[in-house]
Amino acid sequence: MTQAFYAHNQQGRVLRMVPDVIRSRALLYDLFWKDLRAKYRRAIIGLLWAVLQPVLMMLILTFVFGYLLRDLMGSRIGGAQHSYAVFLLAGLVPWQFLVVGLTGATNSIVANQDLIKKVYFPRETVPLAAILYSVLNFAIGFVTFLVVFSVLEGPGLLGVGVVFAPVVFAVQLALITGLGLVCSALNVLYRDVTYMVEVALAFGFYATPIIYDLPHDLPPWVYRIYMLNPMAHLVEAYRQALLMNRFPDAAHLLWPLAAAAVMLVLGAWVFRRIAPTFADHM
């Protein structure tokens, strides 16, 4: 093996990111398994938590908003033909995908600093492994949704929309990846990023139509600002696919897609700029 395994000036190149990741896909997979096993090794019911978490959250939110505060919510509870639990879960599962993916990726580099300080390997694999974990989490959440849907509404109502969901998923994955790359790299320089992400996600939970339907009744300029949030579009797109059984509106896909593209490019650039000197900041 005489080819240059690394020359330092190659490490910073944005364009080499894709081939580097493809070459180290086995490592990516191993890191993913490490995260997974380490996370659930000491937990008695293990991976079942990925199911229990959205279900419990659905139960409590249904209790609060669908029962206690039902009068207050009024017409904001959308999807009149569906039960609140199903409506809620359709928004909650994609949101959890973002939460798990983004927080996981943001902390991943710092959490793996022992490794980063020790050996050279393509650094992208670390946040990508964290995002891969969130994908698994989403898959489990999605299955949970299908089960809850079938139980509450009968499986007959599940339609062709399930096939459209992956399209939305792909756009969301790209968005999370881009955000994850930016945040994980910046978090090495400024640990403030972790806290900022936490605050932003807490805020975002209410600024995204999860517990309520799209607020069409807002003043138009407020609504426009509201809809700058790509997650608002994505959640609506999931609902259109899963609950209304139709291909999501293009508007709800194109804006997040544009955001995802920008974030991916920005993410790759920021990450590659900072990654070669990660070890200096640990």
Partner 1 sequence: MALIEVENVSKVYRPQRGSRVLLSREGLKTLFGGAHETVTALQDISFEVERGESVGIIGSNGSGKSTLLKLLAGVTVPTTGRVTVRGRVASLLELGAGFHPLLTGRENIYLNARILGMDRAHTDSVFDPIVEFSGIGDFIDNPVNTYSSGMFVRLGFAVAVHADPDVFLIDEVLAVGDEEFQRRCRTRIAELKEQGKTIVFVSHDLNIVNMLCNRGILLSKGRMVSRKTPRETIEYYLRQIGRDTGIHRFGAGDLEAVFCHGRISLFKGETEATAPAGLNMQVQSMGQVHPSSLAEWEVTDHGPDWCQARGRYSRLPVTLLWDMRVDAAKLRWRAAIECERETTLEAVSGYSFWPAAYTQFHADLSGSFPDIVPGSRNWTSIIQNAPTCRETIAMPDVSTTLPPAVVRIEPGNDRFTLQWWNTDYMVGCRALDAGAYLPRSEAAFAKGRHELFTLEFDLGLSRADALARVEAREAERSVTSGQASALMHTGMIRISHGPRLLTSSVHLHTQFKIANLWNMSPYIQWGAAQCKGRCVCATGYSTRYPFRQHWEMEPAAAGFELRVWLEALDDIEVQEYNVSIGLDPAYDRWETPLEHGVFPEFDVCQTGWRHLNHDHSHAAYVRALGNGLPTITLDAAASDRPFQMAAINTGYHQRTRVLQAMHVAGADGCLSFSKGRHLCFRGHIRVGA
Q: Which one of the spans 30-38, 63-71, 168-176, 210-218 is the region binding partner 1 (CB under 8 A)?
A: 30-38
Which residues lie closer than 8 Å to 276 by C-beta, 6 or more apart?
Answer: 8, 11, 12
User: Which residue, 46 or 166, is less far from partner 1 as judged by CB?
Assistant: 46
- The answer to whether 34 contacts partner 1 (rule: CB under 8 A) is yes
Q: Count residues binding partner 1 (CB under 8 A).
A: 37
Please tell me whether residue 11 binds partner 1 under the rule CB under 8 A.
yes
Q: Which stretch binds partner 1 (CB under 8 A): 31-39, 75-83, 237-245, 248-256?
A: 31-39
Q: Which stretch binds partner 1 (CB under 8 A): 25-33, 61-69, 94-102, 221-229?
A: 25-33
CB of 263 to partner 1, least distance (A): 24
How many of the other CB atoms lie within 10 Å of CB of 24? 18
Q: How far are the Cα atoms of 3, 99, 101 from residue 104, in angstroms, in the given order?
A: 34, 8, 5
Distances (CA, A) of 155 to 4, 88, 132, 151, 238: 56, 18, 29, 7, 18
> How far is 148 from 89, CA to CA, in rounded Å?
9
Is residue 30 a contact residue for partner 1 (CB under 8 A)? Answer: yes
Cβ 5 to partner 1 shortest distance, Å = 6
What CA–CA distance (Å, rounded) separates 199 from 184?
16
Using the rule CB under 8 A, give the single segment among 34-42, 81-89, 162-170, 262-270 that binds partner 1. 34-42
Kindly tell me which of 26 and 45 has the beta carbon lying closer to partner 1.
Answer: 26
Site for partner 1 in 71-130 (CB under 8 A): 114-121
According to the binding rule CB under 8 A, does residue 16 interact with partner 1?
no
Pick the binder of partner 1 from 155, 163, 225, 280 (CB under 8 A): 280
From 230, 226, 232, select the one nearest 264 (Cα to Cα): 230
Nearer to partner 1, 37 or 246 (CB): 37
Q: Could you tell me which of 269, 235, 280, 236 has the C-alpha nearest to residue 113? A: 280
Residues numbered 183 to 242 that lie near partner 1 (CB under 8 A) are 189-191
Q: Is the dihedral of CA 139, 18, 176, 84 positive or negative?
A: negative
| Residue pair 101/128 in contact by the 8 Å Cβ criterion | no
Please identify, using beta-carbon distances, which residue of 114 and 217 lies nearer to partner 1.
114
Q: Detail the DSSP E strand segments found in 107-162.
A: none
d(CA 177, CA 27): 18
Please, are residues 182 and 266 in contact by the beta-carbon 8 Å criterion?
A: yes
Task: Look up residue 269 and give its amino acid.
Answer: W
Q: For residues 240-279, which are near partner 1 according to CB under 8 A?
A: 276-279
Distance in Å, CB of 278 to partner 1, minimum: 8
Nearest approach, Cβ of 196 to partner 1 (angstroms)?
A: 14
Residues near partner 1 (CB under 8 A) are 1-9, 11-12, 26-27, 30-31, 34, 37-38, 41-42, 114-121, 189-191, 276-281
